[in-house]
Chains A and B, each alone.
Chain A
């Protein structure tokens, strides 16, 4: 099955700095890569996603890049703000038996210091 590795487990930055979180996956058939943000005590929410036919996607201060050859994808947050502090999860979705099975990384705790 799919295996997703996520690094770093903790990331501490100053407000205004950029933050980068990286994930690798093992199944070359995976074709959908979402990123979820989970604030303390709340449910995970999708912040950005990318499909395997696209190399990069941007949404305001957030961007995701995908390298299919190397089987890794990254989340980039620019001009970080204290409200960006949360746990971020990557996931890789691989086809299986006519459906699509998601596998999540272990998460990165992002701390943005004012």
Chain B
């Protein structure tokens, strides 16, 4: 069964450093989501792509976070500079085009620790 891939699975970085996460959605899934999940809370949507276009990034801290999906397939989320408060699980998810299904398939996540 196809799954969403993410790397790295774990990342430890010092504050003020740059960090990048990668996500490869299920083949054919046009919609891609990046979430931040703080321990004990629900996933918070950071950015949503439809193909290569951003459809929502209202919760993305744009002074330090950036996301891209240049060819409408895989995606990269970057933080520069990282802050202590960025420590969290970063989840990527994908779904089929909206006319077919809204179900999201999540990747295993990247656990970020900022020291």
Q: Which residues of A contact B (CB under 8 A)?
A: 1, 6, 32, 34, 36, 42-46, 49, 89, 91, 93, 96-107
Best-buried of B40, B42, B56, B103 by chain A (most CB within 10 Å) = B42
Q: A1-B58, A43-B109 are in contact. Are A93 and B102 (CB under 8 A)?
A: yes
Query: Does A102 lie within 8 Å of B91, measured CB to CB?
Result: no
**A80–B21 CA distance with the chains assembled, in angstroms:** 37
Query: Does A49 lie within 8 Å of B42, measured CB to CB?
Result: no
CB distance from B8 to the nearest CB of A (A): 15
Query: Does B108 lie within 8 Å of A104, measured CB to CB?
Result: no
Query: Does A44 lie within 8 Å of B43, measured CB to CB?
Result: yes
Query: Does B55 lie within 8 Å of A97, measured CB to CB?
Result: yes
Query: Does A99 lie within 8 Å of B91, measured CB to CB?
Result: no
Closest to B59 in A: A1
Is B31 part of the contact surface with A, judged by Cβ < 8 Å? yes
Query: Does B103 lie within 8 Å of A46, measured CB to CB?
Result: yes
Q: Which residues on B sit within 8 Å (CB–CB) of A6?
A: 42
Query: Does B42 lie within 8 Å of A107, measured CB to CB?
Result: yes
Q: A97-B56, A104-B43, A107-B42 are in contact. List 5 more A-B contacts (CB 8 A).
A: A1-B58, A98-B50, A101-B56, A102-B104, A105-B42
Query: Does B102 lie within 8 Å of A32, measured CB to CB?
Result: yes
Closest to B42 in A: A104
**A99–B49 CA distance with the chains assembled, in angstroms:** 9
Q: A1-B58, A43-B108, A106-B42 are in contact. Are A100 and B91 (CB under 8 A)?
A: no
CB distance from A72 to the nearest CB of B (A): 17
Closest to B43 in A: A104
Is B88 part of the contact surface with A, judged by Cβ < 8 Å? no
Q: A43-B107, A43-B108 are in contact. Are A100 and B42 (CB under 8 A)?
A: no
